[in-house]
Structure 1
């Protein structure tokens, strides 16, 4: 399947995911559940924030973190967030916010341009997988 989310749109989705992850335990009231229901969205929110600040796209500030790695980690984080209510057993109390936010992060990571899951494989140079102008 072809990627259908541009990098500019992805930057907005990424900052939206940060805000949703930080605010969801308090907005939806499952901070009372405690434990992993509270800890995981806050932890993944901080991870998304750090990746968004250092991301190499239009909305990143320092542009040091490669987008391929960022998108791969988004797929991993999104799938973990999707499954966490069922793995940790709090699905009987609250699970829709984490499932929806995890699905958003998963889809954004998988279907954005430069994603390792939907883009073509690009040949890397043998010097530690780095590309430069002086190596060919």
Structure 2
């Protein structure tokens, strides 16, 4: 069930990206290890992808929304399993797991078409149909 609008998802993208970048400092695991760098790299990637996505809050609009959502799910999965994959689960894992699962959830529950694109397509279809009559 996809109930999050692409506009809302864009806001989530920028907030989640910023949160992932500052989380190691706020939560006390900014120690220069993989535990710190994984969320920061994922956060920077989320912001970069948001800037390049073809939705309301994108700047360059190169990445189609379905591709963006796939990248979100993949990034969330990497973040969620990273404590065990990279061997730091004995020190910290909750932030990575929780934020990773939230990112997966956002990717799976966001609509695949921006509201403006859907409205434009619907308007264009009506216009073409009107011209036939």
| TM-score (norm. length: structure 2) | 0.79
Which residue in the other structure is 1:109 paired with?
Answer: 107
Q: 1:72 aligns with which of 46, 51, 70?
A: 70
Structure of greater Rg: 2
1:94 partnered with 2:92: yes
Aligned 8 A contact 1:22 1:41 in 2: yes
Deviation at 1:62, TM superposition (A): 1.6
Q: Distance in 2 between matches of 1:64 and 1:80?
A: 23
Deviation at 1:35, TM superposition (A): 2.2
Q: Distance in 1 between matches of 2:14 and 2:28?
A: 22
Q: How many positions carry a matched residue from both structures?
A: 113
Structure with bigger helix share is: 2
Which residue in the other structure is 1:29 paired with?
Answer: 28
Runs of 4+ in 1 over 2 A off after TM superposition: none
Which residue in the other structure is 2:43 paired with?
Answer: 45
Indicate the RMSD between aligned Cα atoms, in angstroms: 1.3
Q: Give the unaligned 5+ runs of structure 1.
A: 116-136
Q: Give the unaligned 5+ runs of structure 2.
A: 114-133
